[in-house]
Structure 1
Amino acid sequence: MALPGNTSTETIERPARLPLPTQFLGRQFYYGWYIVGVAFVSSMMSMGITAYSMGVFLKPMTEELGWSRTDISLGQTLTTFVTGLLGVAIGRRMDVRGGRALMVGGAIIGGTGFIALGQVQELWQYYLVRSGLVAVGSIGMGNLVVNVTLSNWFVRKRGRAIAFGVMGTSMAALLLPTVADRMIDAWGWRAAWAAIGVAVWVTVIPTALLAMRRRPEDFGLRPDGDDAPIEGAPVSARVASDVRWTRQAAARTKTLWMLVATFGFASTGMGALLLHLIPYMTDAGFTRGQAAGAFGMIGVSGLLSKPLWGIALDRFPIRRCAAAEFGLMALGLTLILASHTLAPLYGSIFTLGLGIGGVVTVQEVVWADFFGRLSLGTVRSLAQPFTIVSSAGGPVFAGFAYDHFGSYTTAFHLFIATYLLAAMMIMLTPAPGRPASADQALAA
């Protein structure tokens, strides 16, 4: 049975049954919001841990094991690099089969990886765990799987849906550094890693098994829970962009490479700041508890700003929203460098968090708006290895700068410049034309 007005060429012979209720108190509830809930949990326990908790572990691990900060940072870089390569392999699979199996497998492997981090004795073991178990787990639970799925379930409300889904990372930034700090004080860093691994198992696996599904069309539904469009009614730009792209067709567009450059510049400092900001503060004389509390302001501002970013992305020009996000990150980092007491530091990190709060939402909505949802996994996986190069280098560069200059100042100034370059690049990025021929718009 073909869905009326569906822009896809797919047909659905027998729509599957939804696994959870969509009627509450006599009112219809769109199933896509369950997907948002799964995204919240998964983003909190994947990126939330790898990005926001590692900084708390950095000093205890280096002090006990005798490693340098560059050594620890290289583990972060290896994780980022491997997830980028794996993204190429899973992008097409996401478009065809969805992400439930990937998320469940990622949670099993990732949880095991976090437990294994608590057992490492040698540097090579740390690198093996980070580039193997943790990296594989991260790609299964991470942004590509989560946000491609959300973009399939939402079109008109895409910005809000992705914003609410990735609020899990902000909740992680608010809670996990302090929780990890308390666990390290009470049990030691090894037991703290084990507790985090178990937490991944008991949260992500059941929610993904129960609720994660590929596309609304598989259940006879339309994105956003909409009814079939009226014949001749105007179609939104987002719906009109839902055409199929092959990798070859996407690679021939200027848009793809401009976006690669934009998000490459923007991501250079992201992983580095999340890893090194707490050590930067403790080096400045703050206690680890004070630093973890200040770092939590990223979570506070992210929780407050993510819904606003989602609404803004659904209402205002997307390029201006993205440029504003990058500008806030540059401003926040500039203020951090100028802050020498706790109160201004809280305000500076809050400002940085306003920008970080839009990072995932803006990026995912940009890709989906420009290339549509039907081949989003394919297009995103094509671009990911290139942006990975810059994002993987940031943590190592910051660690190298500290080990050789005794300060993070040089690295932080470079990151300010890359955010400003990203703001300029996104404003210059054109929308792609539609694929020029049927050969470039193959059915899945």
Structure 2
Amino acid sequence: MDMEITLVRPSRRPWRVASGAALAIVVAGSFSTLAGLLVGPLHEDLGWSRSSVGLGSLVNMVVYGATAPFAAALMDRLGMRRVATGALLLVGAGAALTTTMTSPWQFVLYWGVLVGLGTGATAATFAATVGERWFTARRGLVTGMLTAAGVIGQFAFLPLLSWIVESYEWRVAAYVLTGAATLACPAVWASVRDPEAAAGPKAVESRALAVLGRAARTAPFWLLAGTFAVCGASTNGVLWTHFAPAAHDHGMPVTVAASLLSVIGLCNVAGTVGSGWATDRFDARRLLTAYYALRALCLFALPLLLAATVDVPLLAFAVLFGLLDVATVPPTVALCRAHFGADAPVVFGWVSTAHQVGAGAVAFAGGLARDAFGSYDVMWVGVGVLCVAASLVVLVVRGVPECRTAV
């Protein structure tokens, strides 16, 4: 009796969804670091103080973080496709409106609120949701890859944007980003889907707040939120916002400083994907301890390395910091999953809120420090101390079940 054997090929749909999500994350991510290039131009062109520009960055980062948990819940109600596409339309509109600004409050509204909403909806929480819904064996790896996509957006386009700002003006760079967001919408709409077994419609606000209420009664939530706040302070807050103007204070052209940030971004890709791979195999707490400790050493050294030209030590800083910069995301997501199960994407959204609050506070404080002391040095050292504390605190997270997924 002949037996007919049917080979079942694995579905390609998860990877198509991941590709569409990566496109949305890359494009939205390119908005995140433009604010660092606008500090000088807005100060010179419109006469605004650096602290007033920093206030817009603070609002952007806080709104970004506050959006994340509600975006994760909104994806349950409307689906990932609608949320991702709507987010791209928001960031495009916010960037276009900034070209009409005449007062600092408009920067707070257009860049702080609109761009903050859009980037928050397509941030690490989106990456975690895609990994949670579409992948199992490679969940950590995919989360790392999608997080790296955001890093590509944040840094890969910096030299181009910097050249546009320096050769033309900052408004042209805003128009370029608006066009990129608009062009990406059809591709994201066509490729991003939810699995058929995804959760049905739920009340967005009630679910996000209910999950927060449950998580907030546990120590792991506050420990993860606190350490991730330090992560935000030492990346988005201090480096992505203030590195270019700090380097310029030492005589380095802004285009060169932007190129160094791009080196950090390129190394971020390797660091984040590698961290995702490691998170599938090793204790997430020990990984985070190593990441924060090494990041502290980098920040302590930076005031001694900044100069008018790029030398080997400064380039080494860019490479090492790049490997560490977003490497914290996969192990933090894994710890959220280990403690909070199916609620992990929303919990991670709230943890990401803490990340952005920390980032926004330091972005604002950095502007104040520069206005008050004429230097950013105290900021680098202060944030380095916070990283040392985070490297120790993360070890206090106890009772973690096995965090490794199947390979």
Alignment partner for residue 100 of structure 2, among 99, 119, 130? 119
Task: Identify the structure with the greater helix proportion.
Answer: 2
Instruction: Report matched runs for 1:221-370 at 5 Å.
Output: 246-272=211-237, 273-339=239-305, 340=307, 341-343=309-311, 344-370=313-339
Give the aligned partner of residue 402 of structure 1: 370
**What is the alpha-carbon distance in structure 2 between the residues aligned to residue 97 and residue 173 of structure 1?**
27
Note the C-alpha offset of 1:249.
3.1
1:28 is paired with a residue whose SS is coil
Q: Which residue of 2 aligns with 1:49?
A: 31
Q: State the 1:399 CA deviation.
A: 0.8
- 1:429/1:312 CA distance change after superposition, 3 Å: same
State the match for 1:226 in structure 2. none
In structure 2, C-alpha distance between the alignment counterparts of 1:267 and 1:178, rounded to whole Å: 23
Give the total of aligned pairs: 381
| Contact 2:158–2:261 (Cα < 8 Å) also in 1 | yes
Amino acid at match of 1:249: R
- After superposition, the Cα gap between the structure-2 partners of 1:308 and 1:64, relative to the gap in structure 1 and judged at 3 Å, is same
- Please name the residue that 2:19 is paired with: 37
| AA partner of residue 120 (structure 1) | M
Cα pair distance change 1:218/1:321, threshold 3 Å = same
Pick which of 70-79 and 295-304 moved more.
Answer: 295-304
Q: What root-mean-square deviation, in Å, do the aligned CA atoms of Structure 1 and Structure 2 show? A: 2.4
Measured after TM superposition, the shift of residue 107 of structure 1 is: 0.7
Q: How far apart, CA to CA, are the structure 2 residues paired with 1:137 and 1:72?
A: 19
Q: CA deviation at 1:97?
A: 4.5
Report what 1:242 is aligned to.
none
Deviation string 1:233-291 (CA, Å, 9 cap, x unpaired) is: xxxxxxxxxxxx94443222221111112212222232221010011111111111211
Letter of the aligned partner of 2:160 in structure 1? Answer: V
- For residue 386 of structure 1, report the CA deviation from its aligned partner: 4.3
1:177 aligns with 2:177: no
1:354–1:196 CA distance, 2 compared to 1 (3 A)? same
Q: Is the 8 A contact 1:255 1:431 kept in 2?
A: no
Could you say which residue in structure 1 is the equivalent of 2:79? Answer: 98
Cα 1:131–1:175 shift into 2, 3 Å = closer
Instruction: Tell me, yes or no, if structure 1 residue 425 matches structure 2 residue 393.
Output: yes
Residues of 2 paired with 1:141 and 1:90: CA distance? 8
CA contact (8 A) 1:170 1:298 kept: no
Distance verdict in 2 for CA 1:331–1:40, change over 3 Å: farther
Structure 2: which amino acid aligns with 1:47?
G
Q: Which residue of 2 aligns with 1:129?
A: 110
Kept after mapping to 2: 8 A contact 1:152/1:216: no
Report the TM-score when normalising by structure 1: 0.79
Match of 2:50 in 1: 69
Deviations 1:118-140 (A, max 9, x none): 22121121111123321222223
Displacement, 1:218? Answer: 4.7
Unaligned residue ranges in structure 2 (runs of 5+): 1-7, 200-209, 402-407
Q: Match for 2:68: what amino acid?
A: G
Is the 1:264–1:386 contact (alpha carbons within 8 Å) kept by the matching residues of 2?
A: yes
Shift of 1:177: 1.2
Percent identity over the alignment is: 22
SS of the aligned residue for 2:157 comes to: helix
Report the TM-score when normalising by structure 2.
0.86
C-alpha change, 1:401 and 1:252, in structure 2 (3 Å) is same
Unaligned runs of 5+ in 1: 1-25, 220-244, 434-444
| Aligned-residue offset at 1:65 | 0.9
1:60: Cα distance to partner? 1.7
Alignment partner of 1:141 is 2:113 = no
1:164–1:216 CA distance, 2 compared to 1 (3 A): farther
Shift of 1:109: 1.3
